[in-house]
Amino acid sequence: MIPKKPKILVARAVFPEVLAKLDTHFEVQSNQDDVLWTPEKLAQQLQGKVGVFTTGSQRVDAALLAVCPELKVCANMAVGFNNFDLAAMTAAGVLGTNTPGVLTETTADFGFALLMATARRIAESERFLRAGLWNRWRYDMFAGGEVHGSTLGILGMGRIGQGIAQRGAHGFGMKVIYHNRSRLDEATEAQCKARFVSKDELLAQADHLVLVLPYSESSHHAIGQAELSQMKPTATLINIARGGIVDDAALAVALKNGTIAAAGLDVFEGEPQVHPDLLTVPNVVLTPHIASATQATRLAMAHLAADNLIGFLCRGKALTPLNPEVLSATCR
């Protein structure tokens, strides 16, 4: 008798070649129409499944796990995993995996692109041109902030933060300062030409402050009204980390009041909703959570998520586990 393939769910649309790979190992239920399921509908789709391929938009928590007793592994196609309640997953003996490494350089590229677009007012000036308002040269037209030689501040100095530091220090001769939960070792600091400072010093000194820290309860509104008022009035703020790290309402006020010069945001509180006031202020560049979006990187992320499912369900070994303690515990 041919042994039955394990059943898995791919919760969002994905590259056909990744689905084809999963099909060789599993009985796959896919969602190529990319329907956005409610938590109840997701739970329904998960019945009888041992694995799920998720993106940042599916929440996996105690309530979901309680009604999906057969589930053993959730493979997130993202490096961030704040959509997972990892403690609840560990308690339920469910493995979580993410996709670190494969998106580092691409995301750092985008962080730098957003910094440049924001400081040099590229989106704002393009809107002006497209609106047919360009009828003469003027000495101060769209005069922005300097990038080369300025001070680059980084909050959250993991792989992506280090990638941005390298670009700033080596490509643009920027002075790099950073704040992180823990200080980097000397060799890494030297490679990034980065100096560890307090959060207060970071806010006060940065000409461009890039946020690359993970979202958690403790980073919720890490940048609010108080922090924004510690920044230079000429400074820019770039968020490529997660919505909720910045208090978007306070940021909109700060941008209107000139507390800071400009912001570049790829992530938002409650996305895909965007705070209405951010849509009306001119000095903010807004992009729809695309920092990792190149064809090659998204494909690499999808393959890694798929390989985590295959590795764990077929060989008992995931490539990038988030709670590896589950691997040694008795499977539920």
> What are the residues binding ligand 8YV (CB under 6 A)?
55-56, 77-80, 103, 292
149 vs 288 by CB, closer to ligand 8YV: 288
Q: How far is CA 132 from CA 122, 129, 165, in A?
A: 16, 5, 38
Among 242, 275, 298, 303, the active-site one is 242
77 vs 114 by CB, closer to ligand 8YV: 77
Pairing of strands 208-211, 7-10: unpaired
DSSP calls for 16-77? HHHHHHHHHHSEEE--TT-----HHHHHHHTTT-SEEEE-TTS-B-HHHHHT-TT--EEEES
Among 25, 59, 159, 289, the active-site one is 289
Residue 105 a catalytic site member: no
Phi/psi for 210 (5° steps) reads -110, 130
Closest alpha carbon to 86 in 98, 96, 71, 100: 96
75 vs 77 by CB, closer to ligand 8YV: 77
CB of 186 to ligand 8YV, least distance (A): 29
CB of 130 to ligand 8YV, least distance (A): 28
153 vs 158 by CB, closer to ligand 8YV: 158
CB of 267 to ligand 8YV, least distance (A): 7
The whole-angstrom separation of Cα 141 and Cα 136 is: 9
The whole-angstrom separation of Cα 54 and Cα 12 is: 7
CB of 79 to ligand 8YV, least distance (A): 4
Residue 242 a catalytic site member: yes
The whole-angstrom separation of Cα 162 and Cα 288 is: 23
Residue 179 a catalytic site member: no
CB of 103 to ligand 8YV, least distance (A): 5
HSE-up of 34 (CA within 13 Å, CB side)?
A: 6
Q: How far is CA 248 from CA 35, 89, 259, in A?
A: 28, 30, 14
300 burial type by CB count under 10 A (0-12 exposed, 13-18 middle, 19+ buried): middle
What token pair was written down for 300?
A: 């690499």
CB of 77 to ligand 8YV, least distance (A): 5
52 vs 78 by CB, closer to ligand 8YV: 78
103 vs 237 by CB, closer to ligand 8YV: 103
Residues with catalytic roles: 242, 271, 289
